[in-house]
Amino acid sequence: MNIKRMKHKRALWLFLLPGTLLYLFLFAYPTLSGLFYSFTDWDGVSDSYRMVGLGNYKDSFDSLVFRKTLLNNVKFMLSVVIVQTIVSLVLAMLLSRNTRTRVFLRALYFLPAILSSVSVGLIWSFVYDPTIGMLNLGLRGAGLDSLTQNWIGDRHIALYAIAAVQVWAHAGQMMIVFIAGLQAIPGELYESARIDGGNRWQLFRHITWPLLAPASAIVIAYTTIQSFKAFDLIFVMTDGGPNNATEILSTYIYHTAFGNYEFGLASAGSMIFLVVLAVLTYLQFKALRTDRAA
Amino acid sequence: MAFKWLGRLLVLLYAAIIAAPLYFVLISAFKPTTAFFADPLGWPKPLTLENFVALFDQQPMLRYFGNSTLVTLGTVSLSLLLGSLIAYAIVRFGGRIGAFFFALYAAGLIVPTQVNMLPLYSLVRKLGWSDNLLGLVIVSVALFLPLTVFMLTGFMRSLSREVLEAGSIDGASEWRLYVRIAIPLSAPALSACATFLFVMSWNDLLMPMLLINGNSKLTLPLALMQFRGEYVTNYTTLLAGVVLSAVPMVVLFLFLQRYFIAGMTAGAIKG
Amino acid sequence: MTGKSGKKVRYLLASGALALTAVLSACGGGGSAASGSGGDVTINFLHWRGEDVKALDTIIDKFETANPTIKVEMQTLPSDQYQSTAQAKLSDGSVGDVFASFPGAQFDALAKAGVFTDLSGSSFLDSFNADLIAAGQQDGKQLAVPYQLVYNDPIYNVKLFEKYGLTPPADWEGFLALCQTLKDNGVIPIAFAGADIGPGQFMNTMVMNNEPSDDIFEKVEAGEAKLTDEWWVKTLTQIKELNDKGYFQPDALGTKDAAAGALFVQEKAGMLASGSYQLAQNAAQNPELEQALLAPITVSAGEAKYEGVHTSTFMLAVNSKSKHPEEAKKFLEYLSQPDVAGEYANATGQNVTVDGVSYDSPELKVAEDWTSKKTLFQPRFTIKNGDNQKAVTNSIQAVLGGSTPEEAAQEAQAVIDQNLSKS
């Protein structure tokens, strides 16, 4: 029996081997060399560089742009996570039953998720154009001139306008996750609660929400990571402008590394980015765990 | 009753929000450039195919379709093979070893590509794998492994332990268990994961841009970039390209919709 | 049973890995072997001008006919991507035996990395206008040859101007009056692409007479002058004035290049804040359009030192890591011939730095007329640090977004100071 187990274990190690080798070699190793470069002044092009210790980390935190970027990133992430979770949950609850119309609508809602984010950014650049864009034209057509905005040109609005596009592109995908979760909740639970005189809100609070916890965990985790890594959208739509109003960490890293030739500084930015994201993910994980346990 | 109507209203409103920009892309792809700026929202008159003709005229789009298909199929199948082996091993190991490997891959999920693209580039270049479609496939597989392992492990955890334990007591080898039991039972998760990877790989711009040099080896998203100029971009042609490159995905999605949902179900319940 | 399967797995994995390596090395080797064996040489030509591909294809065909042993493979990347991926590839020589680079920050970084082959002394340099190719020199060496000549001065609609009896003004008062007349007649005075290219293009003519020197930004980057000094604050104030008086289209900050161009092409705007590079494109979209260039003079007529701004760009170079430098130079030499340069210019609508080229379209002639004017090399490209360059254009976006010129200048200067303290 023991010998057999050992043989099994050996086979399992072999299962892990090819993928893990590939992963360590082509993913982990380049990522760790990023850590190394964060202590250098490499420009990304030359053959030589100097070690500068923690200088890049200090410069990052000293930089006004970097601090603005961090703040932007938090705003962007919070608005996407909150809005996308609510939108996809509401949609899921409205479309959870399988009827022909509902299945069609689900497919429609999901559709943007299969477009590349470069395409989505391009499309929305035109939608948001103040003069020829369909959004302002539509508002004017409906007599709502006062609602027209300089969507991606106004520094107070631009970040949220892009967050809205992110939601547009991915809420349908997250809705599907919620629907899956909803369909797994046994109908009898609702029946008996209704007999006990529970109203809509109570049903949601005490049955739907707790039982959806695993689905919410997935949705929130995915959305956080997605919103943190949102690069293509911003790159195509505003490239971080106007005046850095939409610069987030991923675009900042890109600009620093390739626009300013400061690969070392950009790597330091990436490492800070990684730490922030890891902490956030961990906190979320913990929060959702305790929520489920309670 | 009021609730029900409010719900219907919301659902239709959201449908309009999704559909409007898509409508805009579709009509623009069939418009001449001048009409695109003069009457951005109007129905294209005359309805023209010139944008699509221009696409095929200026670039060997069929070959790029072929390249994209090759790279995507290669990436998806290799990712699923390696990813499912790893996920299976993680679940079977369980305990500390399983948790370690799961964490190792999950950590990869949060690494932004901007961090490792330059070191990755110089590594691939040293190996002599750049400007090579197969090299692109292998690099993409490595980059997609965190997501693949994450999704598949989530599902395989939900496979009843007893089924596998029973199998191993029967004396079946791990390989046999994997092929005969784990894989068939994971079919919905594999197909859901496949669809995910399909979309990601088909749309990927950064890796092909980094690794592919020759014009004959471009993938579709990279080919579309050739239609962007420094100052002059024919946007209707570019949007026609957007439509064209999305067609295979839309078709695939329409046929495989239920797999998406089935796979997501499994992940969402067992979390 | 178990052992057998274990072996099977191992065998499978091992053979898979072997096969993979075999295929990879076969594919990798295949390309280079093919190019070496027949005596034929393939050189790669990398640039960012997607709009020139057709014209260059024709030229390359002719070059290949004239030089049957050389093949030219051309690849383009959009200019925003050109900075990132192209650079990595250029610096190890995997692409771009012949390649284009931007003047300013990119040229400096590539020069520092030793990517350029020194072209000094090559006979084909004589075909060029010596003043215009200075942007490709460093420490007395000609590292790259600017091929295109661009006048970064706003374009205006000649017929519209005639209709309202307007002529290019000689001072700032005149410019404001001109804008007001257009506005009073329901014409947008200036179409301004504030979301992308607008600030970077328009700042040049706005600053050229407020600080008439060719090294002011060099001084800023050396810490010898500040953006908070009078010349830049004044420039920002004047741009803000144009915006506040409604001389740009509404919401100019959210407008992109294509949409701003459309306003001008549809004759809804009298001027377009871009440059001569856009003349041909505008003409293609509206053949009725009659266009000319005009630079706003931001001072009194007597104080104006420069009449406009020019840039020589699309700087062609030979990669120092190229395996085929001779063939690459041959291609450069071919492009320098006046008739070939003329063919390129007439097919793409871009003026060139090669002497003795005959231009055949009215748009190219418009720009050609400017060669006799006193123009300054584009100030924005004299900013060598990308971060600083962005801080400068950002300060323009900031005033358009509601900041005061002083605030905006201070914010930009803070970035410059920070970069100064780094080095």
Q: What is the CATH number of the domain that holds C408?
A: 3.40.190.10
What mean pLDDT comes out for the span C61-87?
Answer: 86
Q: Mean pLDDT highest for which of A121-130, C99-108, C330-339?
A: C330-339
Q: How far apart are the first and last CA of chain B?
A: 35
Does C32 fall in a domain?
Answer: no
Inter-chain residue contact B37 with A132, CB threshold 8 Å: yes
pLDDT of residue C29: 38
Task: Return the residue of A nearest to C17 by Cα.
Answer: A18
Query: What is the span of the domain harbouring residue C256?
Result: 154-294+385-422
Same domain for C225 and C319, yes or no, is: no
Per-residue pLDDT, averaged over A145-161, amounts to: 90
| Res C298 pLDDT > 50 | yes
pLDDT value of residue C4 = 44
Residue A66 tokens, joined: 């970097």
* Domain match, C225 and C279 both: yes
Long-range contacts of C230-237 (CB under 8 A, 24+ apart): C231/C207, C232/C207, C232/C395, C232/C409, C233/C405, C233/C406, C233/C409, C234/C210, C234/C298, C234/C405, C235/C203, C235/C206, C235/C207, C235/C210, C235/C298, C236/C395, C236/C396, C236/C399, C236/C405, C236/C408, C236/C409, C237/C399, C237/C405
Q: Which residue of B117, B246, B271 is in closest CB contact with A115? A: B246
**Domains identified in chain C, total number:** 2
Q: Inter-chain contact A228–B17, Cβ cutoff 8 Å? A: no
Residue B184: pLDDT band (50, 70, 90) is confident
Is the CB of A128 less than 8 angstroms away from the CB of C254?
Answer: yes
Are residues C389 and C243 part of one domain? yes
Q: Which residues contact C135 (CB under 8 A, 6 or more apart)?
A: C103, C107, C146, C311, C312, C313, C315, C377, C381
Same domain, C230 and C271: yes
- What average pLDDT is seen over chain A? 86
Q: Break chain A into its structural domains and give their ranges.
A: 55-293
b/e map C120-150, b = 16+ CB within 10 Å:
eebebbebbbeebbebbbeeeebbbbbbbbb
- High-pLDDT (> 90) share of chain C, %: 70
Write down the residue that tokens 């994997």 correspond to. B178
Q: What is the mean pLDDT of residues B5-27?
A: 93
> Is the model's pLDDT at C1 over the cut of 60?
no
Q: Measured between beta carbons, which residues in chain B are less than 8 angstroms from residue A87?
A: 14
Strand partners, C145: C316
Question: Is residue C256 located within the same domain as residue C402?
Answer: yes
Read off the pLDDT of residues C187-197 as tens digits, 9 standing for 90 and up. 999 999 998 89
Segment C83-97 shows an average pLDDT of 80
Based on the fold, state whether residues C163 and C265 are members of the same structural domain.
yes
Residue window 120-149, chain A: list those with CB within 8 Å of chain C: 125, 128-132
pLDDT greater than 90 at residue B196: no
- Same domain? For C416 and C325 the reply is no
CB < 8 Å from A in window 226-255 of C = 249-255
Same domain, C392 and C362: no
Domains along chain B?
Answer: 62-232+248-270 (1.10.3720.10)
Report residue C37's pLDDT band, with 50, 70 and 90 as the boundaries.
Answer: very low
Q: Read off the pTM.
A: 0.84
Determine whether the interchain pair B115/A270 forms a contact, defined as Cβ–Cβ distance below 8 Å. Answer: yes
Q: Which of B208, B251, B207, B245 is nearest to B224 (CA)?
A: B245
Distance CA A143, CA B121 (A): 53
Amino acid at A203: L
What are the tens digits of pLDDT across the range B106-140? 888 878 777 788 788 878 888 888 888 999 999 99
Residue whose entry in the numeric block shows the structure tokens 């060719």? C214
Between A76-85, C9-18, C119-128, the lowest mean confidence (pLDDT) is in: C9-18
**Within this chain, do residues C170 and C213 fall inside the same structural domain, yes or no?**
yes
Question: Is residue B267 scored above 60 in pLDDT?
Answer: no
**Residue C263 is encoded by which pair of tokens?**
């306003």
Indicate if C144 and C158 belong to the same structural domain: no
Q: Nearest CB to A124: which of B21, B83, B124? A: B21
Confidence bin at A1 (pLDDT 50/70/90): very low
What letters, b where the CB count within 10 A reaches 16 and e where it falls short, cover B148-173?
bbbbbbbbbbbbeeeebeebbeeebb
Dihedral sign of CA atoms B7, B10, B11, B12 in order: positive
pLDDT at C30 > cutoff 50: no
User: C211 and C161: one domain?
Assistant: yes
In a domain, C348, yes or no: yes
- Output the pLDDT for position C205: 96
Dig out the tokens for A12 from the structure.
């399992």
Which of C81-85, C171-175, C289-293 has the least mean pLDDT? Answer: C81-85
> What residues of chain C, 65 to 124, have a C-beta less than 8 Å from chain A?
80, 83-84, 87-88, 91, 105, 109-110, 112-115
| pLDDT the model gives residue A254 | 83
Mean of the per-residue pLDDT values for chain C?
88
Contact B145 A214 (CB under 8 A): no
C238 pLDDT more than 60: yes
Question: Residues C146, C158: one domain?
Answer: no
- In this predicted model, what pLDDT tens digit does every residue of B53-91 receive, in sequence order? 988 888 888 999 999 999 999 999 999 999 999 999 999
Q: What percent of chain B has pLDDT over 70?
A: 91
3-state DSSP assignment of residue C23: helix
Is residue C2 one of the residues assigned to a domain?
A: no
Cα(C405)–Cα(C228) distance, integer angstroms:
9
DSSP string, C370-419: GGGS-EEE-GGGG---HHHHHHHHHHHHHHHTT--HHHHHHHHHHHHHHH
pLDDT of residue C36: 41
Burial of A199 (0-12, 13-18, 19+ CB in 10 A): exposed
CATH code matching the domain that covers A55-293, chosen among 2.60.40.10, 1.20.1250.20, 1.10.287.3510, 1.10.3720.10: 1.10.3720.10
pLDDT for B208-226, tens place per residue? Answer: 888 887 778 889 888 887 7
pLDDT tens for each residue of A215-234: 887 788 778 878 877 888 89
